[in-house]
Amino acid sequence: MKDRYLEITYRNGKPFAAYLYLNRKVGTKSSKTKKISDGIVADFDDKGNVIGLEIISPLTTNTSDINKALKSLELSPVSKIELAPLKAA
């Protein structure tokens, strides 16, 4: 399994989107998505396991928003340190 990590995509030097990869087996693909809140979409594998969160508005999404989404999916919260790249972006 891979550990949870954050990836940010930039366009013209500004954050365009972000993705919080959650614990999953290497090579796992998304087969279903579900809008969790404004700006956050969850990806699920073919067995219904959450594999990641798409953060559509990285400049306006904060730790609290992401933790609310994770809580609604019955997943453990992230720390501010894990999301520090969002603040730096």
* pLDDT score for 89: 61
Nearest Cα neighbor of 2 from 30, 19, 22 is: 22
Q: What letter would DSSP give residue 76?
A: P
User: Where does the pLDDT of residue 15 fall: very low under 50, low under 70, confident under 90, or very high at 90 and above?
Assistant: confident
For residue range 18-73, what is the model confidence (pLDDT) as tens digits?
999 998 888 888 999 999 998 999 999 999 999 999 999 888 888 999 999 999 99
Taking the CB of residue 83, how many other CB atoms lie within 10 A of it? Answer: 21
Amino acid 45: pLDDT: 95
Rounded Cα gap, residues 70 and 75, in angstroms: 5
As given in the structure block, the two tokens for residue 11 are 């366009």
Distance CA 24, CA 65 (A): 22
Residue 53: which domain range? 5-88
DSSP assignment of 46-63, as one string?
TTS-EEEEEES-TTT--H
